[in-house]
Amino acid sequence: MSGAGREQYYRMKFQLRSLGYKSKVVLLCSIANFINAADRVLMPLAIVPMTSEFKWSLYWQGWILSAFAFGYFTSQIIGATAARKYGGRKVLCFAVTMWSLSTVVTPLAAPYLPALISTRIILGLGEGLGLPTIFHLFAQHVPAADRSRAFGYLVAAGSVGQTVASLFVPHMDWHVSFEIFGVLGLVWVACWFIIYHDPPSQADEEGQELIEKEVESVSWMEWVSHWSLWSIYIAHFAMNWSNYIIMQWLPTYLSRTLGANKESMSLTAVPYIINSLCSVGWGHLADQMVAVGWPVIRVRRLMTFFGLIGPGICLALFPEVSNLVIAVLVVSMAMGLCAANSSGHLSNHADLAPSHAGITFAISNTIATIPGILCGPLTAELVVASHGRWFPVFFLAGTINFTAAMIYYTQSSANPVL
């Protein structure tokens, strides 16, 4: 068979196989993200009963919660290139195995703080490899016309994972919750290893071109020399500061400050449900605004303004709320407004760097993981220094959001720079 004929044969074979694989890959990756998101919120939910059992100070609670971000921070850009070099099958299998094993052994490590913090770092390392690898897989298997829906299912599955964990973990023995979700990840690994195989090198041209463009040589100075890119990085940093405060400390705050019991802790699922629903609503609204003639940059700025200023106001007012139900409603409002960021600065990556959106997102998400490292110990320090008052914590989060919103509004652009 001639070289051209062999190339055509492999292309047709891959495209036929992809008809069946597309749904399987999207389903399996969405389930992986479900487990990913659930595992991420297990510790913030379980730390309340664990602290009662092990008598951890607020200082050590902060470091336990932030340890995840140390691992997550270091593996983002690695994940953006590892799948292309070693294949999506191996890398995603390795990632899910790593974070699932760390989840399974968490109850064994819990009595020993160095061991527990190590398992949290390993969890972050594994989860940091996950999304960049899934991006690579979707580029290979999912046609461009279907990718938005594929990523929609992926994001929705993550929100469902956080919701399920928030609903059920408060009613379970904390040991069992880690074991169930950890074993679920290992079962996923077995299914993935049996079902998925990397495509031949003559893969789908469109997906292959996307991957090649992502790694096309660009000077590292280009990633940090444009204010329009920095406006995205700063907005992402601010968004995650608020999100980490809510994810890491909301269960502790509701329990210690507002007296939430085990049954009431299930209310922490409500903000995630609202966030998931509002993400879809904001997305449709933004697309409709562009369709009727609004400039893209105006839509991006407006959505980011709502996504940062809205939660900033909610968090600044949050310490004044003394009723449990109203407190959950305020946080839910903050998360619902925060969802507008997905149609704002998060979508701006494709505007500024259409051929390098994966890399710019990896850089942005790496910078935006710094709040996850700082929020734990800094929150503990502020609360202790304020003699148990949480106002400085939420006021700082609001101030960061306001500042980032102003920077993004004045420095952002929709014109390609890379």
Per-residue pLDDT of the chain (418 residues; tens, 9 = 90+): 444 555 444 444 444 344 466 778 888 998 999 999 999 989 988 998 999 899 998 889 989 988 988 888 888 777 767 777 787 788 899 999 999 999 999 999 999 999 999 999 999 999 988 877 876 777 677 765 565 566 667 777 888 888 888 888 888 899 999 999 999 999 999 999 888 876 654 444 554 555 455 455 567 677 788 899 999 999 999 999 998 898 888 888 888 888 888 777 778 888 888 887 887 788 778 878 888 989 989 999 999 999 999 999 999 999 889 899 999 999 999 999 998 888 888 878 778 877 666 677 778 888 988 888 888 888 888 998 988 889 999 999 999 999 999 999 999 998 888 7
The answer, as to whether pTM is greater than 0.85, is no
Q: 109 with 118: CB under 8 angstroms?
A: yes
What is the Cα–Cα distance from 102 to 118, expressed in whole angstroms? 9
The helix or strand, by DSSP H or E, that contains position 145, with its residue range, turns out to be helix 144-168
Q: What is the CA radius of gyration of the chain?
A: 22
pLDDT of res. 12 = 41
Domain spans of the chain? 7-214, 216-418
What is the Cα–Cα distance from 411 to 418, expressed in whole angstroms? 16
Give alpha helix (H) positions in 257-295: 269-291
What is the Cα–Cα distance from 272 to 285, expressed in whole angstroms? 20
What is the Cα–Cα distance from 408 to 403, expressed in whole angstroms? 9
Fold matches, 7-214 and 216-418? yes
Q: 300 with 344: CB under 8 angstroms?
A: yes
Residue with tokens 């609004």: 294
CA 317 to chain centre: 26
Q: 374 with 65: CB under 8 angstroms?
A: no
pLDDT of res. 397 = 93
Domain 7-214 is found in CATH 3.20.20.450 = no
The helix or strand, by DSSP H or E, that contains position 79, with its residue range, turns out to be helix 58-86
pLDDT of res. 14 = 46
What is the Cα–Cα distance from 243 to 365, expressed in whole angstroms? 13
Tell the CATH topology of 216-418. Answer: Growth Hormone; Chain: A; (1.20.1250)
pLDDT of res. 150 = 66
For the chain, the residue count is: 418
